[in-house]
Amino acid sequence: MRVAIVYNRDSQRVINLFGLPNREKYGLKAIKRITDALKKGGHQVAAFEGDKDLIDRLEEFMPRVVKGERPGMVFNLSYGIQGQARYTHVPGMLEMIGLPYIGSGPLAHSLALDKVVSKMIFVQRGVPTPDFAVLDQSEFEMPELEFPLIVKPKNEAVSFGIRIVNNEEELRDGSDVIFKEFEQPVLAERYIAGREINVGLLGNNPTEALPPAEILFGTDGPQIYTWEDKTRRSGREIGVACPADIDAELAAKAQDIAKRAFRELGCYDCARVDMRLDDQRNLYVLEVNSLPSLGEHGSYVQGAAAVGLDFAGLVNRLVDIAATRYFGIPSPPEVAPKQADASQNIFSYLSSRRDVIEKEVSAWTKVRSRTSDPVGVEDAHQRLDKELSKLGLKPVEELVDDRVAWTWESPAGLENGTLLIGHLDVPIEPAISTQMFRREPEWLYGEGIGTSRAPLVSLLASLRALKRVNRLKKIPFGVLYYADEGRDCRYSANVIEKAVAKAKNVIVLRPGNVGDYIVTTRRGQRVYRVQFEGTPIRLGKANKRTEVLPWAFEKLESCFELSSKKDRISVAAIDFNTAHLPMLLPHQVTATLLMSYPDEAVADDVEQQIRGFLNGKGVKTSVRMLSKRPPMKERKATTRLAKTFEELASKWEIRFKRETSVWPSVGGLVPATAGVVCGMGPVARNIYTPDESVDRISLIQRTILLAEFLNEQA
């Protein structure tokens, strides 16, 4: 499990420093001991300061999970940075963002920190506690309590401001210090002369009480545990005896009282209850420490050791206890191929390797293979061939063009199976700057990450999962990657058409659209190069020759008017250049026209009209088709294929929707007899730009769906 330790030590990263600052801190040595203990328990661990950046850091370390995947756990050590009820700040944030954590919730922490409210609850519920009074201001009336008394701040911990007072003068002096230093009311309670007994608590329903521990003050100084003692500034050594030297009956009574106090405040998982024992064998609850110290010499750790829990055992037991409370079982079940079905094993394998998958995406974004870079494309091809060979896939020689397209098949062959298609080239213009990989809480960024790299890694991860559960060899499928997406597949189309003719289903690993969409219908696209050639004309000279530039504008405008939303036809210019000689008007105009269309017959008719518009006297005109990408039409096989994915998505509670798109893909090359879905790669945004990114959760979701689908084809 991923476990994030959250603590407060050095950071003051807040919007404003405002309110009473925290004085409690965990030492680096203690944090390292906890980290090492969790790693020893097999957990993946990271430690974070509990400041304003915490949510982003946690989301990066523990991204949103899919159904059946257990979220990470926060090991909360946070005392807060500033303000009131500081123990509640981090738990409140975790409640809001939906992350499980170890320890009590905000309500229990706030009740335990408010010593007056907690004592009122104890009195009402019959939990023994010393008589007390609340002093609200320096000019207070004397409480009806017998000296000696203890004074302490109403809402602090770690013995801040605590003092024994023996008369009115000492009471007023001690109270004034608290009023000035802590700016809060004073709790004055009857001092119980005797021994101090602490009981650690572990677990929920039932809560286990650890053996009582006794705090040994020695003969010097006050018989209370001060802040100076806890920070080793008092000059005396405070010891801990565990189990305490009390008889079994009294020990059981202390444990029972501690459990009652724990329950009345609504604590979870762990706490330490501090009590005083008088010479009449009466026990009184002083307070409940809802965030007990895990210091190696503290009474809580000593109590655990007394029942056989070493430090690592205690720390990992706390994780198990919280997991039981949240998930009903103490730890994730071990899943092995012989103990569960292939589907569950695939899920377990992939969900446990999310970090590995993201690291592989990062590595692939560093492989530069833009469409215009044949050396980079060949490097990417060699890398992919190596990975697929490891998985047992073999090249299909008749479906290979070493320049632009490569096909591999499983041991079961491609015939009548599933063909997965992606592209190795990154269709970004050379002038666009390179984007380095970076990770944000919800998005991964990098060169070609959405159009090429994340879909490729998703494919490889799904195939590895299938190999892991011994299913890969049984599945008839093939993998085809091409390298001229940036040139509209004009060179790879022949190989692709031959390969898709062999398949029953075709899955195009283009990026999914924001909103968790795949595409089942795409328009076709044709690109034309139009050139207008005339005679050079001097500016201002009278002649009867036609000026090329205005003539070209007029003709192109006629072409644009062929666009029709009703008929789903679009005609537009995507490039425009002129050529001229010195001191002469342009004599040549070159334009690139793009036509988007739903049907080949409609496209043929529009193309004929375009050619007709561009004819004329005085200007030589040529029209050349640069590329042709057929539309991808939905058919029964596609509907059936999409429904299969929808059912798988429903099983794992993954959002999954269908839509149509105006942009073409290789899906248009698939024959009508086969089912085809496009956009099965991870959801991406801002593709073909320096801000291209993929949704982190969709990376694992789409990988699971792909692996599940292929598994069902065995």
User: For residue 183, which amino acid is it?
Assistant: E
Place of tokens 């050590």: 77
**What pLDDT, on a 0 to 100 scale, did the predictor assign at position 329?**
56
Q: In three state form, how does the secondary structure of 278-330 look?
A: CCCCCEEEEEEECCCCCCCCCHHHHHHHHCCCCHHHHHHHHHHHHHHHHHCCC
Compare 413 and 583 and report the one with higher pLDDT.
Answer: 413
pLDDT averaged over every residue in the chain = 91
The CA distance from 11 to 191, in Å, is 37
Q: Mind listing the pLDDT tens digit for each residue in 611-625?
A: 998 877 778 999 999
CA atoms within 13 A on the CB side of 492: 28
Q: Mind listing the pLDDT tens digit for each residue in 29-76?
A: 999 999 999 999 989 999 999 999 999 999 889 888 887 777 899 999
pLDDT band, very low/low/confident/very high, at 228 (cuts 50, 70, 90): low
Return the exposure string of 64-89: e unless at least 16 CB atoms fall within 10 Å of the residue's CB, then b. Answer: bebeebbbbbbbbbbbbbbeebbbbb
Q: Mind listing the pLDDT tens digit for each residue in 282-291?
A: 999 999 999 9
**What pLDDT, on a 0 to 100 scale, did the predictor assign at position 18?**
78
pLDDT band, very low/low/confident/very high, at 159 (cuts 50, 70, 90): low
pLDDT band, very low/low/confident/very high, at 443 (cuts 50, 70, 90): very high
**What pLDDT, on a 0 to 100 scale, did the predictor assign at position 331?**
43
Place of tokens 């109590």: 303
The CA distance from 89 to 101, in Å, is 13
Q: Mind listing the pLDDT tens digit for each residue in 80-122?
A: 888 888 899 999 999 999 999 999 999 999 999 999 999 999 9
Average pLDDT of span 185-201: 94
Domain boundaries, the chain: 2-101, 111-327, 366-522+632-712, 524-629
We find that the CATH architecture of domain 111-327 is 2-Layer Sandwich (3.30)
Q: Mind listing the pLDDT tens digit for each residue in 536-550?
A: 888 877 667 788 999
Q: How big is the CA angle at 240 (ends 236 and 243), to the nearest 5 degrees?
A: 160
- Inform me whether the pLDDT recorded for 507 exceeds 80: yes
524-629 is classed CATH 1.10.530.10: no
366-522+632-712 is classed CATH 3.40.630.10: yes
Q: Residue 263 burial by CB count (10 A; 0-12/13-18/19+): exposed, middle or buried? A: middle
pLDDT band, very low/low/confident/very high, at 235 (cuts 50, 70, 90): low
Least confident window among 182-196, 373-387, 477-491, 540-554? 540-554
As a whole-number percent, the residues of the chain with pLDDT over 90 amount to 75
**What pLDDT, on a 0 to 100 scale, did the predictor assign at position 614?**
86
Between the two ends of the chain, the Cα-to-Cα distance in Å is 31
Instruction: Please state which CATH class domain 2-101 belongs to.
Output: alpha beta
**What pLDDT, on a 0 to 100 scale, did the predictor assign at position 297?**
83
Q: Rounded to the nearest 10 degrees, how much is the dihedral formed by the CA atoms of 248, 250, 255, 260?
A: 150
Q: How far is CA 654 from CA 50, 66, 149, 693, 702, in A?
A: 31, 7, 61, 20, 9
Place of tokens 């269309």: 597
